Amino acid sequence: MTSNRAPSDWYPLFPNPVVAESLLDRLINTSHQVIMNGPSYRPNKRPKNPIDKLAKPTIT
């Protein structure tokens, strides 16, 4: 499971605080946290579309 939220931010997402505590306790207890800081890889994976270059007007 991946998330861009800290575990402490998940509690308000559940209507019942007891269920939230139980679920998150089990999830966090057996998990490994990998905190990644840096630029996103998504722009590198975006397909290159030659039509986009043609659609942009050029200013002369």
Is 9 domain-assigned? yes
The whole-number pLDDT of residue 47 equals 73
The whole-number pLDDT of residue 54 equals 56
Q: How many structural domains compose the chain?
A: 1
Is 58 domain-assigned? no
Is 48 domain-assigned? no
The range of the structural domain enclosing residue 8 comes to: 1-39
Task: Tell me the CB-side half-sphere exposure of residue 28, using CA atoms within 13 A.
Answer: 13
Is 56 domain-assigned? no
What are the average pLDDT values for consecutive 10-residue runs of the chain, which has 60 residues? Answer: 79 87 86 80 72 59
Question: How many whole angstroms separate alpha carbon 36 and alpha carbon 40?
Answer: 10
Is 19 domain-assigned? yes
pTM of the model: 0.45
Is 52 domain-assigned? no
